[in-house]
A and B are shown apart, each in its own frame.
Chain A
Amino acid sequence: QQPVQSPQAVILREGEDAVINCSSSKALYSVHWYRQKHGEAPVFLMILLKGGEQKGHEKISASFNEKKQQSSLYLTASQLSYSGTYFCGTEKGAGGTSYGKLTFGQGTILTVHP
């Protein structure tokens, strides 16, 4: 089952903040965040692992609530370059049949205006 992202779209002015959420109905091992600009490949932003390990982008932060199976991506002081579609990808618990497979949400379109 794919994770659910909210909101579906966000419009910001430069310098404003945004939060994108990702929820799953299943126990998760990891949550990934990617950004895709129009006509380009998705680019890795952040990975959050069960147990608290994180790896990612300098100017973007994220949280992972293991009990609620939810992750949030925090975009602060947005820049024009932040525009694109943000996808969360989830990997289910270790040892199950979904281990090693990343399932993506439907995406959140972020538009930053000058």
Chain B
Amino acid sequence: ETGVTQTPRHLVMGMTNKKSLKCEQHLGHNAMYWYKQSAKKPLELMFVYNFKEQTENNSVPSRFSPECPNSSHLFLHLHTLQPEDSALYLCASSQPSGGSVRELFFGEGSRLTVL
């Protein structure tokens, strides 16, 4: 496989469920990102990991918990979500250069619906 792969592609969960989104990149990059894309809103940066260390938490509620066990894998653990959390969650990776962001490679996203 090549590029950035996200699973599952679609997820429906109740407000009391616990689920996880998975992202895997095969590009040898050292930075990984979670973005949230809601209808009629811009892409919202959620978390940034550089070399497995979290370098950004963009004021994301604690019901979203990221995990980056290595530079190739990124998870987003979900628990007690709200209906307004329904959105497309996009994972991306890049190879940072001097701490700056270079080209982002996005996965196709996980479409989350919270009932």
Q: How far apart are A72's CB and chain B's nearest CB, in angstroms?
A: 18
- A42 cross-chain contacts in B, Cβ below 8 A: 43, 90, 104, 106
User: How many A residues, CB 8 Å from partner?
Assistant: 25
- B109 cross-chain contacts in A, Cβ below 8 A: 41
**Are A2 and B42 in contact (CB-based, < 8 A)?**
yes
Q: How far is the CA of A41 from the CA of B37 in the complex (A)?
A: 11
User: Which residues 92-115 of B sit at the A interface, judged by CB distance below 8 A?
Assistant: 96, 99-109
Once A87-B43, A100-B99 are accepted as A-B contacts, the answer to whether A41 and B56 lie under 8 Å apart by CB is no
- A43 cross-chain contacts in B, Cβ below 8 A: 106
B50 within 8 A of A: yes
- A2 cross-chain contacts in B, Cβ below 8 A: 42
**Are A41 and B42 in contact (CB-based, < 8 A)?**
no
User: Which residues 91-106 of A sit at the B interface, judged by CB distance below 8 A?
Assistant: 91, 94, 99-106
Q: Give the most central of B48, B58, B104: most A CB within 10 Å.
A: B104
- B106 cross-chain contacts in A, Cβ below 8 A: 34, 41-43
**Are A106 and B42 in contact (CB-based, < 8 A)?**
yes
Q: Give the most central of B43, B99, B104, B107: most A CB within 10 Å.
A: B43
Once A41-B106, A41-B108 are accepted as A-B contacts, the answer to whether A103 and B101 lie under 8 Å apart by CB is no
B62 within 8 A of A: no
- B35 cross-chain contacts in A, Cβ below 8 A: 104
**Are B107 and A41 in contact (CB-based, < 8 A)?**
yes
**Are B108 and A40 in contact (CB-based, < 8 A)?**
yes
Q: How far apart are A21's CB and chain B's nearest CB, in angstroms?
A: 15
* 19 pairs, CB–CB < 8 Å, chain A vs chain B: A30-B100, A41-B106, A41-B108, A41-B109, A42-B43, A44-B105, A99-B100, A100-B50, A100-B96, A101-B45, A101-B48, A101-B58, A101-B101, A102-B45, A102-B101, A104-B35, A105-B42, A106-B42, A107-B42
What are the nearest 9 A-B pairs in CB distance?
A: A41-B106, A104-B43, A44-B103, A106-B42, A104-B42, A41-B108, A102-B101, A42-B106, A91-B101
Which B residues lie at the A interface, using CB under 8 A?
4, 31, 33, 35, 41-45, 48, 50, 55-56, 58, 90, 96, 99-109
